[in-house]
A = this chain, B = another copy of it.
Amino acid sequence: MKLLPTLSEVYNQASYPITGHAKRNVQVLKEALASYDGELDSDVYGSGAVIEPFQERMAKLLGKPAAVFFPSGTMAQQIALRIWSDGAGSKKVAYHPLCHLEIHEKDGLKELHHLEPILLADTTRPVRLADVVGMEEPVACVLLELPQREIGGQLPPYEELVEISAHCREKGIKLHLDGARLFEALPYYGVAADELCSLFDSVYISFYKGLGGIAGAVLAGEYDFTEESKVWKRRHGGDLISLYPYILSAEYYMERRMPRMAQYYHEAQELAALYNACSTITTVPQVPVSNMFHVHSALPKEVLEPILIAVIEETGFGFTHVLRDKDDGGSYYEVSIGDRYAELPKEKLRDAFRMLDERVRAAAE
């Protein structure tokens, strides 16, 4: 008996995957390294020509005095909050309930740093000014994730960020930017990175989301802050003798993809419109504000999944590799736009969406 293929399997076989940049394979690193001379010396524990000029360049881009390269954002952000907590003499930090630190890090912030998060907003919307103003306890630091990944990449209005920033400065609360997808947020806000970052005391960015590097992150802020972060980086085991595989690939793909963020953003809006034309399906946000959004369907996973598998197999378009249950009985998945979307045959894509619409419509009846 032949087993039916899984959603992940048909996605991986699809001729036209819709999301992302490319396969995450070894070629990604080979391509990046090909543009560097083999004689280039490795970084050595945070020193050397590979890491120091790159950190300076990132600091300048983010409008901060200094920046430090980290192997991961998990490490960089725990450390940022720890430093602000130590400085304020308070273990309280505030962030969204779907913050990466709260749901994806096995409670490292609590288990390693003994910080006590206060959750702002709810799981359907971003943090707003009223949430920050309404905090009852004094907190050392507020973390804002822009865009907020787990709710489809939503963003608060820019003016509200300015108000949150002013409020925090007035109250002596540090404001930290979880900018894992910072560059993806800029086209909607229509500001440069340094302008947005000027609202924050510390900033983390990731190199393997929209930028499509291998791994790695940067933490930027005042010089004293970044120097202290290097001590914690060593304590965490993140001060590797050589980080250059991540640094060089970060540099290589950042150069190529940072200029395409506006394109990804507009393509996300185009694709979301195709989804919203399908029965039972809506996107969150309805009009994307970055290169990503979530696809929600009223159909339960066990109904939608075989439809997606069939449409992917019949049309060759890879809609998603995973589908998740929603609490309300429906299902959802995440979409983020990268290099692939621009290469799709658009007429055929519309045909595929027509087929998807027919199938979900029939299933809903």
Give the interface of A toward B (CB within 8 A).
23-30, 33, 36-42, 44, 50, 70-76, 78, 105-108, 111-113, 208, 214-215, 231-232, 234-246, 248
Contact = CB atoms under 8 A, between A and B. Distances in A.
Given A25-B42, A42-B24, A208-B241, A236 B75 contact: yes
Nearest to A33: B30
Nearest to A231: B106
A245 B247 CA distance: 12
Contacts of A245: 29, 214, 245-246
Contact of A248 (B26, B41, B108): B26
Nearest to A40: B26
Contact of A26 (B33, B107, B208, B238): B33
A197 B244 CA distance: 32
Nearest to A213: B242
Contacts of A234: 74, 105-106, 108
Contact of A108 (B30, B74, B237, B242): B237
12 contacts: A24-B41, A25-B38, A25-B39, A26-B39, A26-B42, A27-B38, A28-B42, A29-B244, A71-B238, A72-B240, A75-B238, A215-B241
Contacts of A39: 23, 25-27
B112 A235 contact: yes
Nearest to A24: B42
Nearest to A37: B26
Nearest to A243: B215
Nearest to A237: B75
A53 to B, nearest CB: 15
A26 B38 contact: yes
B236 A108 contact: yes
A71 B246 CA distance: 12
Contacts of A208: 241-242
A306 B30 CA distance: 43
A237 B70 contact: yes
B236 A215 contact: no
A10 to B, nearest CB: 17
Nearest to A244: B26
A240 B107 contact: no
Q: Which of A23, A214, A248 has the most CB of B within 10 A?
A: A214
Nearest to A238: B237
Contacts of A28: 42
A74 to B, nearest CB: 4
Contacts of A248: 26
A240 B70 CA distance: 11
Contacts of A242: 24, 208, 214-215
Given A112-B112, A214-B242, A214-B245, A29 B33 contact: yes
Contacts of A24: 41-42, 44, 242
